Amino acid sequence: MSQNLLTLTTENFDATIAEGVTLVDLWTPTCGPCMMLAPILENHVAPAVAGRAKVAKVNVAEWRDVAVRFGVKAVPTLLLFKDGQLVQQMVGLQSGDALIKAVEAVL
């Protein structure tokens, strides 16, 4: 994973989202739209919100319990948290600009 993106697992998920704003991408390696979203997050979204919000990824093929916990039925699904509380859920490929606006709206 890139230096701009955090990798989350069941073990570090709650601690990572507990404070501040965190955008979490739930993805799988076999998902085409997920692969298209990865460089958008890494090269556009994460640098734009650096120092103000975290951008993270959870491979739900490995950490399925995270997807189950949030009722995720399709990937990619993006979850936006503020201080540990889910404030927005987006399903499907999103533009970098839309994601940045969503993050900035809860900062």
CATH number at residue 90: 3.40.30.10
Confidence tier at 2 by pLDDT (50, 70, 90) = low
Confidence tier at 4 by pLDDT (50, 70, 90) = confident
The count of structural domains within the chain is 1
Q: Is residue 1 part of a domain?
A: no
pLDDT tens digits for range 26-42: 999 999 999 999 999 99
Average pLDDT for residues 40-67, to the nearest whole number?
Answer: 97
pLDDT tens digits for range 68-107: 999 999 999 999 999 999 999 999 999 999 999 999 999 9
Record the tokens describing residue 10, joined without a space.
Answer: 């069941």
Active site amino acids: 31, 34
Q: In whole angstroms, how large is the CA radius of gyration of the chain?
A: 12
Domain that holds residue 66: 6-106
Q: Is residue 24 part of a domain?
A: yes
Q: Quick one: how many helices (H) and strands (E) in the chain?
A: 5, 5
Place of tokens 């009722």: 71
